[in-house]
Amino acid sequence: MPKITLKGSPVTLVGAEVRAGQKAPDFKVQKTDMSDYTLASGKGKVRILCAVPSLDTGVCDTETRRFNQEAAKLPGVEIVTISMDLPMAQKRWCGAAGVDKVITASDHREASFGRAYGCLVQGGPLDRFLARAVFVLGPENEIRYVEYVPEVSTEPDYAKALAAAGKR
């Protein structure tokens, strides 16, 4: 598993670490309209899947707003931000933040995304939250790029994720 910290303290992750080149594992999360979003939901599209602890934190807010801006420049690329926030809270946050190009989805029911992608935190102050990570999937659900952000309180490498999404 990748070494992740929160303000310098180690964070324990559960689930399987994924790597570029492998097939993306399936998952089921809940969108703000309460419908399910699964791996099959976006088949045929390039996707950026962003795991964040909570949209109600400064770094997650900044990251999701940034990917929302970038989405306008990436036709045909779907960007999904996944957190443990409840769908109603995500919907409220998107409305207040003006985020309308990124899909937000909640892993609160089963933590299936967190377990399948190895970013579910176990223990400590972020117990059952998702660690910050970015996964880029190709149209056939192959993983093109993976970043487990080493320090949860920092932003991901946008340039690398966007470059991986831009490859056709």
* Active-site residue list: 60
The CA-based dihedral angle spanning residues 18, 22, 28, 32, taken in that order and rounded to the nearest 10 degrees:
80
> What are the backbone dihedrals phi and psi of residue 139, each rounded to the nearest 5 degrees, phi first?
-65, -25
Q: How many residues does the chain have?
A: 168
Q: DSSP alpha helices (H): ranges in 15-149?
A: 58-71, 87-97, 112-116
Q: With b meaning 16 or more CB within 10 Å and e meaning fewer, what string describes 61-78?
A: bebbebbbebbeebeebb
